[in-house]
Structures are given as structure tokens and as C-alpha cells.
Amino acid sequence: MWVYEKKLLYPVEVTTCNPMLARYIMEQYGGADGELAAALRYMNQRYTVPDKVIGLLTDISTEEFSHLEMLATMIYKLTKDATPEQLEKAGLGAHFVNHGHSLFYENAGGVPFTTTYIQSKGDPIADLYEDIAAEEKARATYQWLIDISDDPGINDALRFLRERENIHSLRFREAVELLKDERDRKKIF
């Protein structure tokens, strides 16, 4: 199903050690509206949608996994040289005690990822509206991360991710219209 290339979807450059920024970026890594939740949501939903949109959900889910890889790279690069004291000052002391410098799916507040973040109703139109909302929430979060970051390399990658969320939202909107047209078409038996 996948072919893995040993390169990121978009380059991630980090100019300085910044555990506080890494903590904020964790919201998109393991939070309710983050990339892991989106990737799993879309991959799961693809089994209960009409054939016309299965490929769309698979494609976007796959891309969300690549976004997750970019976020992991950002977090790792922002924290790899941090001392335990710097991590503690950034609010990552408990994370360090539990995981060292290893990444762990949690949000910016340290709450572990949970599958309750994954929405799937089984109604294709309802699910696609949920997906549109998820993409818009992710877009907003990326903008807020850009607003608080002063790292030009991180901001460049975050802008890329923000724009991809816009594209995904548009693609899901197109799919809703396609399914609504099909639903509203007069059926004669």
C-alpha cells in the first residue's frame, strides 16, 4: 500500500534548542486535533464510504502520517540537546522522567493520546463534515504555533503544514458535494 522514501515530505530546519516550542508542537503530534488522530480517523472511515471517496481518505490519511513524521522531527530537533533542567522549565519534566528524550504521543498539556479522539459515525456525509472541521482546527492550531514561534525554519515547515490542511479541507468539501449530489439524485427502481 505504501512506498516509503527516506526523506521528509518537506524539510524541517531547526535553528536552536527550544523545549517550550517543542511542547507546544506536541499538540499537533498527539492532541485531539493533531495529525495522528486525523490519520487514524481517515484510515478508519475509508471502510464505510462510497467507492468514489475511498481513495481520497486513503491519500489524505497517508499524507497525515507524513505530517506526523515532520512533527516528530521538529520535536526531536528542538529537544535533543536540552538538559533535564531545560525540559523541566518547559513543562516537560514528567515527560523526561517517563520517556527520556523519546517522543510520546501526548498533547501540549501532557495528556496521552487516546482513541476517543478518533471520530467515525458511519455516515459518509457526517464523517466528511467532521473531517472538514478537523482540518480547519488543525489549520488554526498551526497558525497559532507560527504566531508564537520565532524559529524561521520551524515556521517555514509549519506554514507548509498549515497550507496542506487548507487543501485537505477543500478536498473533503468537494467530496461532500459529490456525495450530496448522489444522495439527492432521483432513484428509480
Tens digit of each residue's pLDDT (9 = 90 or more) over 107-119 = 999 999 999 999 8
Q: Is 135 annotated as a binding residue?
A: yes
59 annotated ligand-binding residue: yes
In a domain, 188, yes or no: no
Is 131 known as a binding-site position? no
CATH code of 156's domain: 1.20.1260.10
- Band (pLDDT 50/70/90 cuts) for residue 1 is low
Ligand-binding annotation for 85, yes or no, is no
Q: Tell whether residue 69 is among the known ligand binding residues.
A: no
Q: Is residue 6 in a domain?
A: no
Residues 66-92: tens digit of each pLDDT: 999 999 999 999 999 999 999 999 999
Q: Is residue 120 part of a domain?
A: yes
Per the structure, the count of domains in the chain is: 1
| C-alpha dist (Å) from residue 102 to 6, 48, 71, 105, 125 | 20, 35, 13, 10, 38
Question: In this structure, is residue 30 part of a structural domain?
Answer: yes
User: Containing domain of residue 170, as a range?
Assistant: 19-183
- Whether residue 145 lies inside any domain: the answer is yes
The answer, yes or no, to whether residue 40 has pLDDT greater than 90, is yes
0.85 exceeded by pTM = yes
Is 35 annotated as contributing to ligand binding?
Answer: yes
141 assigned to some structural domain:
yes
**pLDDT at residue number 188:** 65
Assigned domain for 161 exists: yes
